[in-house]
Each structure stands twice: as structure tokens, then as C-alpha cells.
Structure 1
Amino acid sequence: MADILPWQSGLWQLLAGREQHAHAYLLHGPAGIGKRALAEQLMALLLCRQPSLAGACGDCRSCQLLAAQTHPDHYILEPEEADKAIRVDQVRQLVSFVTQTAQLGGRKVVLLEPAEAMNLNAANALLKSLEEPAGDTVLLLISHQPSRLLPTIRSRCVQQACPLPAREQSLDWIAQQLPELPSEQREELLTLAAGSPLAACRLHELGVLEMRAQVVEGIKKLLKQQQSPSQLAEAWNPLSLILLFDWFCEWAHLILRYQMSGDEQGLGAADMAKVIQYLAQKTTPAKLLALQDWLLAHRQKVLGKANLNRVLLLEALLVQWANLPGAR
């Protein structure tokens, strides 16, 4: 079994040391800090026949079945496809599992990630099981955005915030995972991942540094009128929409902040610093606020898995971005 991540040791001692466990936990915090790994450790501990503060024993029949992914009393619920919603029929299957008797005579444990992926009907279908799960059942819900959960879901769980590691601790851990990567690239990945080390490693696997370079170069060409919004939208069609919207939301915020403070230390990543300064000097706060409202509204649609025409959405974004410089 994997070791507890260094920044989770204090929280692990707190959870593993409990004499009685809640029937439902909500483990929440930024994406990419290891909440899933923590939940899997806790699931193993709760199912183990000889647990200790160090975790599951790894030797008992329950641990061996769990390691083989054949334990009859554990259940993992995720979206059937990446970035899709968890549907009500999936939750009904989970509820059926919860009402059954544990086949090994111990606990049943459910792991659900991400909880905010449940649509409204799915979330409502889970409420009864969260309030009064049958038998000795523990539900472990993982959320990257707990504000998107129904209050009735949150109120039925013990809410446990998971820690974001210190930057140096994150960089040390990333260096162990990606020793071949230059230190400046590890720094850049961690910045792009908003300080979440596991997310930084995933961004590396996805080639996000190359994607970011493509986007920044495209923005510069757009502002120089060397490329049109429609051309860029077509070129960016394969890229992650949520990453693009995250970046543009951040850049709009940085421009506004620079207009208000003039602080050159607050320009964000170096690749866009000069663009941020240029646009801050060439546009008005009113234009930026209107763009920011549009970005946030459409980012929410992307997060909500709305059926959007990607190319038209990107073109609309780029037209507004190209129109930022103008009469003040």
C-alpha cells in the first residue's frame, strides 16, 4: 500500500486514531493534493481486520481482497466518463449496495469522487443513505469544490478539510516524482497547478507546458493582429476548455489587480507578464469587469458539463480579448 503523503501525516493520525468513525466523511480541498490517496488509505483501514495507527495491516483476508479489487464490501462511484456527471441510476445502484448486509461480516465502505459531479437528482437520491446508512457503512465523499454541493449533502457529513502543502514541501515531492525535469519547469508546473503537487505531475503528463506555450504565443499573435479569433479557436479546439477558462479568468484578474495597484510583483507567471502590463495600460476596468463576468458565467457552464459548441465558444472569448485594447 502506498505511504501517506508527507503533508497528510497529521490529518492521518487524527483520522486513524478515532475510536468511532462517522457514517459519512466529506474530504475536501483543492484538486491535486492527494485526497483520493487519503480516502483509499482510510477505506483500507476501515475494512482491515487488524488495523493500527499506521494503517491497514496488508496481510489479512480483507486487505488481500481489497488489493485484488475483489472485496465484496467496498464500492467506488465515479463518473462513467471523464468530466461527465454522476447520474441518478448510478447512485441508485450505490444505495442498493448500502442496504445489503456486509458479506465479510464487517464494515461496508463507499468512496465517491468527485461529489460535486452528482447532478441534482443523483444528489437527492443519496440523501437518505447519507443520513441513515444501513448497517456499519461508512461513506467517503471527496470534493474539490464543496461549495457546489447541496447544503443537505454537506450537513450530513463530517466535513474534513485536507491540507495544501507548503510550496517547498511540494517542490521536494515533485522532484522525487520527476527527477529528470529541470527545477524551473517543476516550479512552473506547481504554479500552474495552484500549488497542488499531484496536479502538477498530472499537468506534466498531459503536456500542459507545451499547451501553455501554444496558448500564450497565440494570444500574442492575436493582439498583434497576426492571427484571427476564428483561426485561433480552430487551433485550440483540441485543448482543455476548463484549463483555458482557468487561465483567462486568472489573466483578467491579474490585469485588474495591476490597474489598481501597479505592483509588478503581482503579474503572475513570467510568460504572460508583459501582456498583462500591456492590456492593463490599453483597456478600461469596465471592459475587464464585463469580460470577467462573461468568463465566470461560461466557466460555470463548462464545469456543469453544458452541451457547448467549443469552437464558437472559444471564438467568442477571443473576440472579446482582441477588443480589450481600445479607447480609454
Structure 2
Amino acid sequence: MADGILPWQVDLWQLLAGRQQHAHAYLLHGPAGIGKRALAEQLMALLLCQRPAALSACGTCKGCLLLAAHTHPDHYILEPEEADKAIKVDQVRHLVGFVTQTAQLGGRKVVLLEPAEAMNLNAANALLKSLEEPAGDTVLLLISHQPSRLLPTIKSRCVQQSCPLPGRQQSLDWLAVQLPDVSPAQREELLALSANSPLAALKLQGAGVLDMRVQVVDGVKKLLKRQQSPSQLAEAWSSHSLILLFDWFCEWAHLILRFQMTGDEEGLGAADMQKVIQYLAEKSSPDRLLVLQDWLLAHRQKVLGKANLNRVLLLEALLVQWASLPGPS
């Protein structure tokens, strides 16, 4: 068994690694932060190994040593040139050139592409022929966090493999090993903020998201008390992750609407915003909330689509609407 396989991936790894003949393209999909990239890298190592044994790359052959040094001539990793940007058609054309070449070590060529949904339309179309008829013994490993955003023609040319989600306790146990100096309560909070994706939780901790969350929640409370203006907060938050902010505000709008309909105090979300959720549920009209929710979802989609947005103006528009929630319709 490969050392890098996560506990919740064992069964899937045995299925993938145990195949006698591999598909020319796999689409590994599932929520962000559950270890799809780690799984794909282990599979790449196995496929390029010259002496694989016991469902694992040997780690000592020429192929394994070159891959470990990031100099293997028959592996190719395609990602956005900048974080959170699109994969462009020129990048895919370069990849297609690699796919058409003969493997330099005489074995397989392996491509890892992440995230597949970052390809713009022209880039996705440029990849189709290579997905359908890759040259030689080539295996393409596509990773997707949001497969619904992929072209049907991309998905239909791949073996689609859903990647397993860990159980909550399994995630907490894994995080306890990774973050021994973080308190159990903070590990639980990180897991909640990451939608129960443990690798995403680990990344959030490294990015200081717990401190960001404290700042954002404090800002929301001051906004509602008229102690800070939307423009002040928008400037203060301009360096924060837009998608994370929109995820939080979308969740809060949903929780407010849910509480208005059910009155269920068990469904108020994380403790830091429960009183705010209750207050806004009592003081806001459902109609105004639904308008805000539609706006949030539409603009979250623009953020996900890498639209060229003015961050400060976008956040100010969000906060102006949020501040106006309490009051008459």
C-alpha cells in the first residue's frame, strides 16, 4: 500500500491500483479538501514506476527518482498560471504537444490536470481529441472539485470516479495528528468551516482563517450596530478570500431563512454567528432576504468563474445590502 494514501481512500486505492489495464483518462471528483490531488499523485507515481510492487511505486527505480526530483520527462502537470485564474487554450495546446510525443523512458506518459473546471471553453475544446485518442500509452488524470461545471463532452471521455469523503470522526482524528498544537475545539471549528473536508481544514489553518473569521464576524456585528460603514469594512476585507467571504454570507443568508421557517435553534450554524442569525431572522423580511440570497449566489458564481471584479466595490455592495436587512420591507 502506498504511504501517501489517506485512511478514507484505502478501498478506492486498491480498486485503482489493482487494475490490470488502465483507462486513458480518469476524472477524480469530489469536494475540495478531501485528498483528490494526493490520490492522483500516488496514481501518477505508480503508473510511471518501472518496478511497481504491492500496489505501490517502488521509490527506487529511475522513474521514481526522476519523479521525486520533478524532472521526469514523461509526466506533465497542468494548472492555472495564477491562483484562481482560468486554464487557457495556449496551455492546453502545449499539453497536447506533450501527449503526441513518444515517451522518453519507453513507458507511459501521465498528465495531471487540476482543477479541470478551470479550463475556459476554448481550452476544454482543445483537450477533447487528446482525451478521446491520446497518443501512445498516455493516461490523463483530471481532478475536479465541481464536475457540474465541466462540459459533458469532457466528462463522457473519462472514467468518472467519485472520491470518498471521510467521516467526521475520521477527519478529526487525522487533524489531531496533523495539528497537535491546535486545540480540539479549534480543530472542530476548522472542520466546520471547511465543510468537513480535512485537507481544506488544514489549509485554512495555514492561511490563518480562524483569525480572519473572528475579524469578519466582529465586522458584521459592528456593521449592524452602525459602528462601522460598509465602505470601511470593504477596505479592511479587501485582502481576504472573496470565495470564502461569499461562502460565509451565502450560508448565513440560508440559515436566517431556515430559522424564519422552522424556528429550530439547533440549526443556527457556528456558535460565533448564532445570535446574529436569530436577530436578523426576527428583524428581516423574507422577501428582502430572498433578493439578497439571489444576489449572493449570482455574484458567487461570478467569483467562481474568475470574472474580473472590483473587490472593494463588490464587498461594499454586499455589505450595504446586509446592513439594510433589519427594518421594514
Q: TM-score, normalised by structure 1?
A: 0.99
- Aligned residues of 1:32 and 1:198 also touching (Cα < 8 A): yes
Deviation at 1:52, TM superposition (A): 2.9
- Classify the secondary structure of the residue corresponding to 2:110: strand
Residue equivalent to 1:323:
324
Deviation at 1:157, TM superposition (A): 0.4
Deviation at 1:10, TM superposition (A): 0.6
Residue equivalent to 2:154:
153
Residue equivalent to 1:300:
301
Residue equivalent to 1:76:
77
Deviation at 1:65, TM superposition (A): 1.0
Deviation at 1:202, TM superposition (A): 0.5
Supply the AA of the counterpart residue of 1:102: A
- Aligned residues of 1:242 and 1:299 also touching (Cα < 8 A): yes
Deviation at 1:2, TM superposition (A): 4.5
Residue equivalent to 1:22:
23
Residue equivalent to 1:96:
97
**What CA deviation, in whole Å up to 9, does each residue of 1:15-67 have, x standing for no partner?**
01111110000000010111000000000111111223431111111111111
- Classify the secondary structure of the residue corresponding to 1:109: strand
Q: Distance in 1 between matches of 2:149 and 2:53?
A: 35
Q: Distance in 2 between matches of 1:322 and 1:114?
A: 35
Q: Distance in 2 between matches of 1:83 and 1:233?
A: 20
- Classify the secondary structure of the residue corresponding to 2:105: coil
Deviation beyond 3 Å, 4+ runs, structure 1: none
Aligned pairs (5 A) from 1:251-290? 251-290=252-291
Aligned pairs (5 A) from 1:4-43? 4-43=5-44
- Aligned residues of 1:175 and 1:186 also touching (Cα < 8 A): yes
- Classify the secondary structure of the residue corresponding to 1:27: strand
Q: Distance in 1 between matches of 2:53 and 2:288?
A: 58
Residue equivalent to 1:229:
230
**What CA deviation, in whole Å up to 9, does each residue of 1:195-233 have, x standing for no partner?**
000100110011000000000000001111111111111
Supply the AA of the counterpart residue of 1:42: L
Q: Distance in 1 between matches of 2:105 and 2:277?
A: 60
Deviation at 1:305, TM superposition (A): 1.1
- Classify the secondary structure of the residue corresponding to 2:139: strand
Supply the AA of the counterpart residue of 1:213: V
Residue equivalent to 2:213:
212
Supply the AA of the counterpart residue of 1:111: L
- Aligned residues of 1:242 and 1:303 also touching (Cα < 8 A): yes
Supply the AA of the counterpart residue of 1:231: Q
Q: Distance in 2 between matches of 1:238 and 1:74?
A: 35
Aligned-residue CA RMSD in angstroms? Answer: 0.9
Residue equivalent to 2:141:
140
**What CA deviation, in whole Å up to 9, does each residue of 1:228-262 have, x standing for no partner?**
11111111111111100000000011111111111
Q: Distance in 1 between matches of 2:48 and 2:236?
A: 49
Gaps of 5+ in 2: none
Q: TM-score, normalised by structure 2?
A: 0.98
Q: Once the two structures are aligned, what percentage of the paired residues are identical?
A: 82
**Number of residues of Structure 1 aligned to a counterpart in Structure 2:** 328
Residue equivalent to 2:129:
128
Q: Distance in 2 between matches of 1:288 and 1:27?
A: 36
